[in-house]
Amino acid sequence: MKWTLNTLFGLWFVLQPFSILSAAYFPVLGLAIDKAMAPVVLLGCILSLGLGTQKVATGKFSFIFLVFSFFLVRNLSFAQDATLFLKVIWQDAILFGYFLIPFLFIDRISRVDTVARLVSINAVVACLSAFLAATGYIELPYERFAESRIGFQSIQKSVGLITSYGDVAQIAVFFLFIGRFLPEKLLSIMNKRLVYISSLIIILLGLIGNQSRSFLLSVIAAYLVSWYIIYRRKRAGRTLLIDIMAGVTILISFAAIVLFGDSIIAILAGLGGREAMGTASARLLQYEAALRVIAEHPILGITAEAYHLHPDFAHGIHDLWLGQFARGGVVSILLLTSIFWILFRRCLKLFGNSSTLVYGKVLIGYLIAVVVSTLFYPADTVLFWSLLGVASGMIYTLRRPPESYKHTFRSVPIKTTEGRIRLRHARENT
Protein backbone atom coordinates (compact mmCIF):
# COMPACT_ATOMS: atom_id res chain seq x y z
CA MET A 1 0.00 0.00 0.00
CA LYS A 2 2.82 2.41 0.93
CA TRP A 3 4.71 1.95 -2.34
CA THR A 4 1.50 2.20 -4.37
CA LEU A 5 0.53 5.45 -2.67
CA ASN A 6 4.04 6.89 -3.12
CA THR A 7 3.93 6.13 -6.85
CA LEU A 8 0.41 7.50 -7.31
CA PHE A 9 1.25 10.69 -5.44
CA GLY A 10 4.48 11.20 -7.39
CA LEU A 11 2.75 10.79 -10.75
CA TRP A 12 -0.13 13.03 -9.73
CA PHE A 13 2.17 15.78 -8.50
CA VAL A 14 4.57 15.92 -11.47
CA LEU A 15 1.65 15.89 -13.93
CA GLN A 16 0.20 19.15 -12.58
CA PRO A 17 2.18 21.47 -14.89
CA PHE A 18 1.01 19.37 -17.84
CA SER A 19 -2.73 19.81 -17.16
CA ILE A 20 -3.40 21.70 -20.37
CA LEU A 21 -1.33 19.29 -22.46
CA SER A 22 -2.98 16.18 -21.03
CA ALA A 23 -6.46 17.66 -21.40
CA ALA A 24 -5.71 18.57 -25.03
CA TYR A 25 -4.11 15.30 -26.06
CA PHE A 26 -6.25 12.89 -24.01
CA PRO A 27 -9.78 14.27 -24.56
CA VAL A 28 -11.28 10.82 -23.90
CA LEU A 29 -10.88 11.54 -20.16
CA GLY A 30 -12.82 14.76 -20.43
CA LEU A 31 -10.32 16.47 -18.12
CA ALA A 32 -6.61 16.65 -17.33
CA ILE A 33 -4.89 13.47 -16.12
CA ASP A 34 -3.89 15.00 -12.76
CA LYS A 35 -7.52 16.00 -12.12
CA ALA A 36 -8.68 12.49 -13.00
CA MET A 37 -6.07 11.02 -10.63
CA ALA A 38 -6.77 13.40 -7.73
CA PRO A 39 -9.78 11.52 -6.24
CA VAL A 40 -7.84 8.23 -6.42
CA VAL A 41 -4.79 9.67 -4.66
CA LEU A 42 -6.94 11.34 -2.01
CA LEU A 43 -8.83 8.08 -1.40
CA GLY A 44 -5.47 6.30 -1.12
CA CYS A 45 -4.32 8.75 1.57
CA ILE A 46 -7.56 8.32 3.52
CA LEU A 47 -7.44 4.52 3.18
CA SER A 48 -3.82 4.51 4.31
CA LEU A 49 -4.83 6.46 7.40
CA GLY A 50 -7.61 3.98 8.11
CA LEU A 51 -5.22 1.03 7.80
CA GLY A 52 -2.73 2.66 10.15
CA THR A 53 0.13 2.72 7.63
CA GLN A 54 0.11 6.52 7.70
CA LYS A 55 0.06 8.86 10.68
CA VAL A 56 -1.31 12.37 11.06
CA ALA A 57 0.00 14.75 13.71
CA THR A 58 -2.70 15.91 16.11
CA GLY A 59 -2.61 19.55 15.01
CA LYS A 60 -3.24 18.66 11.38
CA PHE A 61 -6.94 18.00 11.91
CA SER A 62 -7.65 21.46 13.35
CA PHE A 63 -5.72 23.05 10.47
CA ILE A 64 -7.71 21.01 7.93
CA PHE A 65 -10.90 22.29 9.56
CA LEU A 66 -9.60 25.89 9.35
CA VAL A 67 -8.89 25.60 5.61
CA PHE A 68 -12.25 23.88 5.04
CA SER A 69 -13.98 26.70 6.93
CA PHE A 70 -12.34 29.27 4.66
CA PHE A 71 -13.68 27.56 1.53
CA LEU A 72 -17.14 27.22 3.06
CA VAL A 73 -17.44 30.75 4.47
CA ARG A 74 -16.36 32.52 1.29
CA ASN A 75 -19.33 30.92 -0.50
CA LEU A 76 -22.03 31.54 2.09
CA SER A 77 -23.18 34.76 0.43
CA PHE A 78 -24.19 32.66 -2.63
CA ALA A 79 -26.35 30.22 -0.64
CA GLN A 80 -29.67 31.72 -1.79
CA ASP A 81 -28.85 30.84 -5.40
CA ALA A 82 -28.70 27.02 -5.34
CA THR A 83 -27.28 26.65 -8.85
CA LEU A 84 -24.48 29.15 -8.28
CA PHE A 85 -23.77 27.82 -4.79
CA LEU A 86 -23.32 24.24 -6.02
CA LYS A 87 -21.12 25.47 -8.86
CA VAL A 88 -18.70 27.42 -6.65
CA ILE A 89 -18.72 24.74 -3.95
CA TRP A 90 -17.68 22.13 -6.52
CA GLN A 91 -14.89 24.39 -7.79
CA ASP A 92 -13.66 24.90 -4.23
CA ALA A 93 -13.95 21.18 -3.45
CA ILE A 94 -11.35 20.58 -6.18
CA LEU A 95 -9.06 23.26 -4.72
CA PHE A 96 -9.51 21.86 -1.21
CA GLY A 97 -8.70 18.38 -2.51
CA TYR A 98 -5.48 19.62 -4.11
CA PHE A 99 -4.51 21.14 -0.76
CA LEU A 100 -5.52 18.08 1.23
CA ILE A 101 -3.64 15.42 -0.77
CA PRO A 102 -0.07 16.63 -0.07
CA PHE A 103 -1.04 17.77 3.43
CA LEU A 104 -2.13 14.23 4.34
CA PHE A 105 0.57 12.47 2.32
CA ILE A 106 3.53 14.20 4.00
CA ASP A 107 3.66 12.40 7.34
CA ARG A 108 7.38 11.65 7.80
CA ILE A 109 10.77 13.18 7.08
CA SER A 110 11.43 10.86 4.13
CA ARG A 111 8.30 12.16 2.41
CA VAL A 112 9.29 15.76 3.14
CA ASP A 113 12.49 15.12 1.18
CA THR A 114 10.67 13.21 -1.57
CA VAL A 115 8.19 16.02 -2.15
CA ALA A 116 11.06 18.55 -2.14
CA ARG A 117 12.45 16.70 -5.17
CA LEU A 118 9.03 16.69 -6.86
CA VAL A 119 8.66 20.45 -6.29
CA SER A 120 12.09 20.92 -7.87
CA ILE A 121 11.12 18.85 -10.93
CA ASN A 122 7.99 20.91 -11.46
CA ALA A 123 9.87 24.18 -10.92
CA VAL A 124 12.41 23.24 -13.59
CA VAL A 125 9.56 22.35 -15.97
CA ALA A 126 7.81 25.66 -15.20
CA CYS A 127 10.88 27.86 -15.71
CA LEU A 128 12.28 26.12 -18.78
CA SER A 129 8.88 25.90 -20.50
CA ALA A 130 8.32 29.65 -19.94
CA PHE A 131 11.72 30.43 -21.46
CA LEU A 132 11.34 28.05 -24.42
CA ALA A 133 7.81 29.28 -25.19
CA ALA A 134 8.92 32.92 -24.97
CA THR A 135 11.81 32.31 -27.37
CA GLY A 136 9.64 30.30 -29.78
CA TYR A 137 11.38 26.93 -29.35
CA ILE A 138 8.17 25.17 -28.27
CA GLU A 139 4.51 25.67 -29.11
CA LEU A 140 1.77 24.75 -26.65
CA PRO A 141 -2.00 24.13 -27.03
CA TYR A 142 -2.53 27.12 -24.73
CA GLU A 143 -0.14 30.01 -25.18
CA ARG A 144 -0.26 33.31 -23.37
CA PHE A 145 2.00 36.00 -24.75
CA ALA A 146 2.47 39.68 -24.06
CA GLU A 147 4.80 42.42 -25.21
CA SER A 148 8.47 41.96 -24.33
CA ARG A 149 9.48 43.81 -21.17
CA ILE A 150 13.25 43.45 -21.30
CA GLY A 151 14.03 45.07 -24.65
CA PHE A 152 14.47 41.95 -26.80
CA GLN A 153 11.84 41.83 -29.53
CA SER A 154 12.55 38.14 -30.14
CA ILE A 155 11.63 37.20 -26.55
CA GLN A 156 7.99 37.67 -25.63
CA LYS A 157 6.45 37.51 -22.19
CA SER A 158 5.13 33.96 -21.67
CA VAL A 159 3.91 31.66 -18.90
CA GLY A 160 4.82 28.36 -20.58
CA LEU A 161 3.12 25.23 -19.26
CA ILE A 162 1.90 26.82 -16.02
CA THR A 163 -0.74 29.38 -16.90
CA SER A 164 -0.26 31.79 -13.98
CA TYR A 165 2.74 34.06 -13.43
CA GLY A 166 2.19 33.95 -9.68
CA ASP A 167 2.27 30.14 -9.63
CA VAL A 168 5.56 30.15 -11.54
CA ALA A 169 7.00 32.72 -9.13
CA GLN A 170 6.08 30.69 -6.05
CA ILE A 171 7.31 27.31 -7.25
CA ALA A 172 10.49 28.95 -8.58
CA VAL A 173 11.30 30.53 -5.22
CA PHE A 174 10.50 27.23 -3.49
CA PHE A 175 13.02 25.50 -5.76
CA LEU A 176 15.61 28.24 -5.35
CA PHE A 177 15.58 27.84 -1.56
CA ILE A 178 15.64 24.05 -1.82
CA GLY A 179 18.70 24.33 -4.07
CA ARG A 180 20.29 26.77 -1.63
CA PHE A 181 19.66 24.96 1.66
CA LEU A 182 18.75 21.35 0.77
CA PRO A 183 20.96 20.43 -2.19
CA GLU A 184 21.68 16.95 -0.82
CA LYS A 185 17.94 16.24 -0.91
CA LEU A 186 17.94 16.76 -4.67
CA LEU A 187 21.01 14.94 -5.96
CA SER A 188 23.46 13.71 -3.32
CA ILE A 189 26.10 12.92 -5.95
CA MET A 190 26.41 16.57 -7.01
CA ASN A 191 28.41 19.35 -5.47
CA LYS A 192 26.26 21.61 -3.27
CA ARG A 193 27.49 24.77 -4.95
CA LEU A 194 26.79 23.30 -8.38
CA VAL A 195 23.19 22.51 -7.36
CA TYR A 196 22.70 26.08 -6.13
CA ILE A 197 24.25 27.65 -9.24
CA SER A 198 22.13 25.39 -11.45
CA SER A 199 18.97 26.44 -9.63
CA LEU A 200 19.93 30.11 -10.03
CA ILE A 201 20.41 29.66 -13.79
CA ILE A 202 17.07 27.87 -14.15
CA ILE A 203 15.29 30.60 -12.16
CA LEU A 204 16.97 33.26 -14.32
CA LEU A 205 15.70 31.54 -17.48
CA GLY A 206 12.22 31.43 -15.96
CA LEU A 207 12.43 35.13 -15.14
CA ILE A 208 13.50 35.93 -18.72
CA GLY A 209 10.60 33.86 -20.03
CA ASN A 210 8.02 35.25 -17.61
CA GLN A 211 9.35 38.82 -17.56
CA SER A 212 7.13 39.22 -14.51
CA ARG A 213 7.71 41.98 -11.98
CA SER A 214 5.91 39.98 -9.29
CA PHE A 215 8.31 37.09 -10.02
CA LEU A 216 11.32 39.37 -9.48
CA LEU A 217 9.83 41.01 -6.39
CA SER A 218 8.99 37.59 -4.92
CA VAL A 219 12.59 36.40 -5.29
CA ILE A 220 14.07 39.60 -3.84
CA ALA A 221 11.62 39.80 -0.92
CA ALA A 222 12.02 36.10 -0.07
CA TYR A 223 15.79 36.41 0.05
CA LEU A 224 15.80 39.64 2.09
CA VAL A 225 13.30 38.42 4.69
CA SER A 226 14.94 34.99 4.92
CA TRP A 227 18.36 36.62 5.40
CA TYR A 228 16.93 38.90 8.08
CA ILE A 229 15.34 36.03 10.01
CA ILE A 230 18.48 33.87 9.77
CA TYR A 231 20.70 36.79 10.85
CA ARG A 232 18.38 37.62 13.72
CA ARG A 233 18.40 34.03 14.96
CA LYS A 234 22.20 33.91 14.86
CA ARG A 235 22.53 37.14 16.84
CA ALA A 236 19.80 36.60 19.42
CA GLY A 237 19.68 39.47 21.90
CA ARG A 238 21.93 41.71 19.76
CA THR A 239 19.55 42.71 17.00
CA LEU A 240 18.08 45.99 18.27
CA LEU A 241 19.76 48.12 15.60
CA ILE A 242 18.77 45.87 12.69
CA ASP A 243 15.22 45.58 14.08
CA ILE A 244 14.95 49.38 14.16
CA MET A 245 16.33 49.62 10.62
CA ALA A 246 13.86 47.01 9.39
CA GLY A 247 10.95 48.76 11.09
CA VAL A 248 11.92 52.17 9.70
CA THR A 249 12.29 50.69 6.20
CA ILE A 250 8.83 49.12 6.39
CA LEU A 251 7.26 52.38 7.64
CA ILE A 252 8.95 54.46 4.93
CA SER A 253 7.90 51.98 2.25
CA PHE A 254 4.32 51.97 3.51
CA ALA A 255 4.19 55.78 3.64
CA ALA A 256 5.64 56.01 0.12
CA ILE A 257 3.03 53.61 -1.25
CA VAL A 258 0.20 55.55 0.42
CA LEU A 259 1.44 59.01 -0.60
CA PHE A 260 2.89 58.25 -4.02
CA GLY A 261 1.05 55.08 -5.06
CA ASP A 262 -0.06 56.38 -8.47
CA SER A 263 3.43 57.61 -9.33
CA ILE A 264 5.05 54.32 -8.26
CA ILE A 265 2.64 52.30 -10.40
CA ALA A 266 3.28 54.62 -13.33
CA ILE A 267 7.05 54.15 -12.94
CA LEU A 268 6.73 50.36 -12.71
CA ALA A 269 4.38 50.33 -15.67
CA GLY A 270 6.81 52.45 -17.68
CA LEU A 271 9.56 49.93 -16.98
CA GLY A 272 7.38 47.26 -18.55
CA GLY A 273 6.53 48.90 -21.86
CA ARG A 274 3.31 50.27 -23.35
CA GLU A 275 1.22 47.19 -22.63
CA ALA A 276 2.35 47.14 -19.00
CA MET A 277 1.14 50.72 -18.61
CA GLY A 278 -2.29 49.56 -19.72
CA THR A 279 -2.36 46.59 -17.35
CA ALA A 280 -1.31 48.82 -14.45
CA SER A 281 -4.27 51.12 -15.10
CA ALA A 282 -6.58 48.10 -15.37
CA ARG A 283 -5.33 46.77 -12.04
CA LEU A 284 -6.08 50.09 -10.35
CA LEU A 285 -9.64 49.98 -11.68
CA GLN A 286 -9.99 46.41 -10.36
CA TYR A 287 -8.81 47.45 -6.91
CA GLU A 288 -11.18 50.41 -6.82
CA ALA A 289 -14.09 48.16 -7.80
CA ALA A 290 -13.13 45.59 -5.16
CA LEU A 291 -13.02 48.29 -2.48
CA ARG A 292 -16.53 49.42 -3.47
CA VAL A 293 -17.83 45.86 -3.16
CA ILE A 294 -16.14 45.49 0.23
CA ALA A 295 -17.79 48.70 1.43
CA GLU A 296 -21.22 47.45 0.27
CA HIS A 297 -20.87 43.83 1.48
CA PRO A 298 -18.29 43.83 4.30
CA ILE A 299 -19.35 40.76 6.30
CA LEU A 300 -19.84 37.86 3.83
CA GLY A 301 -18.86 39.51 0.56
CA ILE A 302 -20.55 39.94 -2.81
CA THR A 303 -24.09 38.59 -3.17
CA ALA A 304 -25.29 36.07 -5.76
CA GLU A 305 -27.12 38.78 -7.72
CA ALA A 306 -24.02 40.97 -7.89
CA TYR A 307 -21.88 37.94 -8.76
CA HIS A 308 -23.93 37.23 -11.88
CA LEU A 309 -23.36 40.82 -13.00
CA HIS A 310 -19.66 40.91 -12.06
CA PRO A 311 -18.21 37.35 -11.80
CA ASP A 312 -14.67 38.74 -11.95
CA PHE A 313 -14.90 39.59 -8.26
CA ALA A 314 -14.66 35.89 -7.51
CA HIS A 315 -11.77 35.02 -9.79
CA GLY A 316 -10.36 38.05 -11.59
CA ILE A 317 -9.20 40.59 -9.00
CA HIS A 318 -5.41 40.59 -9.35
CA ASP A 319 -4.80 40.62 -5.61
CA LEU A 320 -5.58 37.58 -3.46
CA TRP A 321 -6.39 39.60 -0.35
CA LEU A 322 -8.66 42.20 -1.97
CA GLY A 323 -10.25 39.52 -4.13
CA GLN A 324 -11.10 37.26 -1.20
CA PHE A 325 -12.29 40.21 0.88
CA ALA A 326 -14.68 41.16 -1.95
CA ARG A 327 -15.83 37.58 -2.45
CA GLY A 328 -16.09 36.34 1.14
CA GLY A 329 -16.09 39.43 3.33
CA VAL A 330 -14.21 40.12 6.52
CA VAL A 331 -14.93 36.64 7.93
CA SER A 332 -13.27 35.01 4.94
CA ILE A 333 -10.22 37.27 5.03
CA LEU A 334 -9.78 36.64 8.78
CA LEU A 335 -9.74 32.89 8.15
CA LEU A 336 -7.26 33.27 5.28
CA THR A 337 -5.02 35.48 7.41
CA SER A 338 -5.20 32.92 10.22
CA ILE A 339 -4.04 30.17 7.84
CA PHE A 340 -0.91 32.10 6.92
CA TRP A 341 -0.31 33.36 10.47
CA ILE A 342 -0.31 29.80 11.83
CA LEU A 343 2.04 28.63 9.08
CA PHE A 344 4.45 31.52 9.74
CA ARG A 345 4.44 30.88 13.49
CA ARG A 346 5.05 27.15 13.10
CA CYS A 347 7.67 27.74 10.42
CA LEU A 348 9.65 30.11 12.65
CA LYS A 349 9.74 27.41 15.34
CA LEU A 350 11.68 25.20 12.93
CA PHE A 351 14.60 27.62 13.35
CA GLY A 352 14.91 26.63 17.01
CA ASN A 353 15.95 23.03 16.25
CA SER A 354 19.20 22.14 14.52
CA SER A 355 17.59 19.17 12.74
CA THR A 356 14.82 21.29 11.19
CA LEU A 357 16.69 24.58 10.74
CA VAL A 358 17.44 24.13 7.02
CA TYR A 359 13.83 23.21 6.32
CA GLY A 360 12.73 26.38 8.09
CA LYS A 361 14.95 28.45 5.80
CA VAL A 362 13.36 26.87 2.73
CA LEU A 363 9.77 27.19 3.92
CA ILE A 364 10.01 30.77 5.21
CA GLY A 365 11.32 31.83 1.80
CA TYR A 366 8.40 30.13 0.08
CA LEU A 367 5.82 31.71 2.42
CA ILE A 368 7.26 35.18 1.84
CA ALA A 369 7.09 34.58 -1.92
CA VAL A 370 3.41 33.62 -1.54
CA VAL A 371 2.54 36.81 0.34
CA VAL A 372 4.37 39.03 -2.17
CA SER A 373 3.15 37.33 -5.35
CA THR A 374 -0.48 37.22 -4.17
CA LEU A 375 -0.45 41.01 -4.14
CA PHE A 376 -0.42 40.79 -7.94
CA TYR A 377 -2.57 37.76 -8.85
CA PRO A 378 -5.75 36.01 -7.62
CA ALA A 379 -4.00 32.76 -6.53
CA ASP A 380 -7.09 30.56 -6.75
CA THR A 381 -5.43 27.81 -8.80
CA VAL A 382 -4.94 24.12 -8.15
CA LEU A 383 -1.16 24.58 -8.19
CA PHE A 384 -1.36 27.37 -5.59
CA TRP A 385 -3.36 25.20 -3.19
CA SER A 386 -1.27 22.13 -3.95
CA LEU A 387 1.97 23.98 -3.13
CA LEU A 388 0.42 25.44 0.01
CA GLY A 389 -0.58 21.91 1.01
CA VAL A 390 3.01 20.78 0.46
CA ALA A 391 4.43 23.58 2.61
CA SER A 392 1.78 23.05 5.30
CA GLY A 393 2.42 19.29 5.36
CA MET A 394 6.15 19.87 5.71
CA ILE A 395 5.72 22.39 8.52
CA TYR A 396 3.28 20.23 10.49
CA THR A 397 5.34 17.06 10.00
CA LEU A 398 8.56 18.76 11.09
CA ARG A 399 6.83 20.36 14.07
CA ARG A 400 4.82 17.38 15.32
CA PRO A 401 3.75 17.53 18.99
CA PRO A 402 5.44 14.98 21.33
CA GLU A 403 2.33 12.81 21.71
CA SER A 404 2.29 12.10 17.97
CA TYR A 405 5.64 10.31 18.28
CA LYS A 406 4.14 7.46 20.27
CA HIS A 407 3.71 5.26 17.21
CA THR A 408 7.47 5.32 16.55
CA PHE A 409 8.26 3.54 19.83
CA ARG A 410 6.13 0.43 19.55
CA SER A 411 9.20 -1.77 19.18
CA VAL A 412 10.62 -0.46 22.49
CA PRO A 413 8.13 -0.32 25.42
CA ILE A 414 7.95 3.13 27.00
CA LYS A 415 8.30 1.56 30.46
CA THR A 416 11.85 0.37 29.73
CA THR A 417 14.86 2.59 30.34
CA GLU A 418 15.71 2.66 26.63
CA GLY A 419 12.14 3.57 25.77
CA ARG A 420 12.16 6.49 28.25
CA ILE A 421 15.45 7.80 26.83
CA ARG A 422 14.16 7.67 23.25
CA LEU A 423 10.88 9.33 24.20
CA ARG A 424 12.70 12.12 26.04
CA HIS A 425 15.03 12.59 23.06
CA ALA A 426 12.04 12.89 20.71
CA ARG A 427 10.36 15.48 22.93
CA GLU A 428 13.52 17.54 23.16
CA ASN A 429 13.75 17.64 19.36
CA THR A 430 10.20 18.90 18.76
Write out pLDDT tens, residues 207-254: 999 888 889 889 998 988 888 887 776 665 455 565 566 666 666 665
Contact 384, 55 (CB under 8 A): no
**Rounded to whole angstroms, how far apart are CA atoms 31 and 48?**
26
In which band, very low, low, confident or very high, does the pLDDT at 401 lie, cut at 50, 70 and 90? very low
What pLDDT is recorded for position 310? 75
Sequence letter at residue 181: F
Integer Cα distance of 338 and 375 in angstroms: 17
Once rounded to an integer, what is the mean pLDDT over residues 259-284?
A: 58
- Convert 355-392 to b/e letters by CB count within 10 Å (16 or more is b): ebebbbbbbbbbbbbbbbbbbbbbbbbbbbbbbbbbbb
Mean pLDDT of all residues in 264-276: 53
Q: What percent of the chain has pLDDT over 90?
A: 40
Rounded to 10°, the helix 192-210/165-181 angle is 170
**Residue 205: pLDDT over 70:** yes
Contact between residue 366 and residue 173 where contact means Cβ atoms under 8 Å apart: yes
Decide if pLDDT at 402 tops 90. no
Average pLDDT over the chain, rounded to an integer: 81
The pTM for the full model equals 0.83
Best CA proximity match to 384, nearest among 117, 95, 118: 95
Per the CB < 8 A criterion, the answer to whether 175 and 202 are in contact is yes
For 282-320, write each residue's pLDDT tens digit: 777 788 888 888 888 889 888 888 888 777 766 678 889
Note the pLDDT tens digit of each residue in 100-109: 999 999 998 9
343 neighbors 332 (Cβ within 8 angstroms): no
Q: Dihedral of CA 203/204/209/215: which sign?
A: positive
Separation of alpha carbons 42 and 96, rounded Å: 11
393: pLDDT confidence band, cut at 50, 70 and 90? Answer: very high
**Contacts for 395 with CB less than 8 Å, ≥ 6 apart:** 343, 346, 347, 350, 363
